[in-house]
Amino acid sequence: MNKDINIGDCQLMFGDCLERMKEIPDGSVNCAITSPPYNVNLGNNKFKKEGYNSSDDNLPYKEYLTWIKNITDLSYSKLADDGRICINIGDGKNGSIPTHSDFIQILKDKGFNMLTTLIWNKNNTSNRTAWGSYMSASCPSFPRCFEYILVACKQKRLSHKGNSTISKEEFIEFSNGMWNVKPEPNQKEIGHPAIYPIEIPYRLIQMLTYENDIVLDMFMGSGSTGIACINTNRKFIGIELDEKYYDISCKRIEEAINDKKQQLFK
């Protein structure tokens, strides 16, 4: 079943990113911005029974890293010579599994240069209950109120020319390596359990790309990266495997395009 949609400057592709990315011309993407499945249950079959939709969020950790390596290899070939990749990821099991460190090694092994590692401070652990060994040194737990955004590149300076759309005030704020951005408050209403707010891809797009550059999100989810592209006049390619989330993305992106048209008309 072909559910692909082209609307405005957005190309939305339904299916497995390892297959669909092969259809994208090599060297054509300026920046990849994504948040892959976190593999939160590390191979525990109970998690699948609870209905989480992503089929690749429950692999043994070594298999998960191999899967990420395959996606990284494909991403490298699709990126332009001065292309960049941004990956939002959190560490597993409250930091005892250094996922972000393993991702960095995969990126470096492929030939990417690390541009920076940003900290996304979500400030959302005030009501936490996972203490581990409460008030004991036996086995304390350290729940995270932050995640990482890994930014890597083929070459550190852009070689193609373009128009930057970032304001002075945005540049000063966004160039700080600690981003204080609240999580998406409307996850239940939107229908996706792990949405990153539009503000995250918006900042990355403004800092790292020019107007009309092509941005890829191979794990489109609820379409946050696509909406950020619409709001900043970038072209977008989104891929999503889960049909429910793909439909949510298409709807949100179409609404964002219509909203922009109405604003221009006014």
Instruction: Give the contacts of 174 (CB within 8 A, at least 6 positions apart).
Output: 166, 203, 206, 207
Question: Lowest-pLDDT range, 92-106, 107-121, 199-213, 223-237?
Answer: 92-106
User: Residue 194 has what pLDDT?
Assistant: 58
Residue 168 has pLDDT above 60, yes or no: yes
Please report which confidence band the pLDDT of residue 111 belongs to, taking 50, 70 and 90 as the band edges.
very high
195: left (phi over 0), alpha (psi -120 to 50) or beta: beta
CB 10 within 8 A of CB 226: yes
Alpha helices, DSSP H, located in the chain: 17-20, 45-49, 61-78, 99-110, 168-174, 187-190, 199-208, 224-232, 243-265
Q: How far apart are CA 44 and CA 1, in angstroms?
A: 31
User: Residue 45 has what pLDDT?
Assistant: 43
CA 61 to the chain's CA centroid: 20
Look up the CATH superfamily of 5-265: Vaccinia Virus protein VP39 (3.40.50.150)
> Which DSSP state fits 167?
-
User: Residue 40 has what pLDDT?
Assistant: 54
How far apart, in Å, do the first and last CA atoms of the chain sit?
A: 39
15: left (phi over 0), alpha (psi -120 to 50) or beta: left
* pLDDT digit string, tens, across residues 197-235: 999 999 999 999 999 999 999 999 999 999 999 999 999
- The pTM score is 0.88
The neighbour count for residue 172, using CB atoms within 10 Å, is 10
Please report which confidence band the pLDDT of residue 141 belongs to, taking 50, 70 and 90 as the band edges.
confident
Instruction: Give the contacts of 262 (CB within 8 A, at least 6 positions apart).
Output: none
238 or 97, greater pLDDT: 238
Beta bridge partners of 146: 121
Q: Which amino acid is at 45?
A: N
Main-chain phi, psi angles of 100, to 5 degrees:
-65, -35
Per domain, the residue ranges of the chain are: 5-265
CA triple 98-102-103, angle to 5 deg: 115
65 or 264, greater pLDDT: 65
Q: What is the mean pLDDT of residues 151-165?
A: 97
Q: Can you read off the two tokens belonging to residue 254?
A: 């179409």
Q: How far apart are CA 237 and CA 11, in angstroms?
A: 5
* pLDDT digit string, tens, across residues 19-59: 999 999 999 999 999 999 877 554 444 334 333 344 445 67
Q: What is the mean pLDDT of residues 96-117?
A: 96
Q: How far apart are CA 222 and CA 248, in angstroms?
A: 6
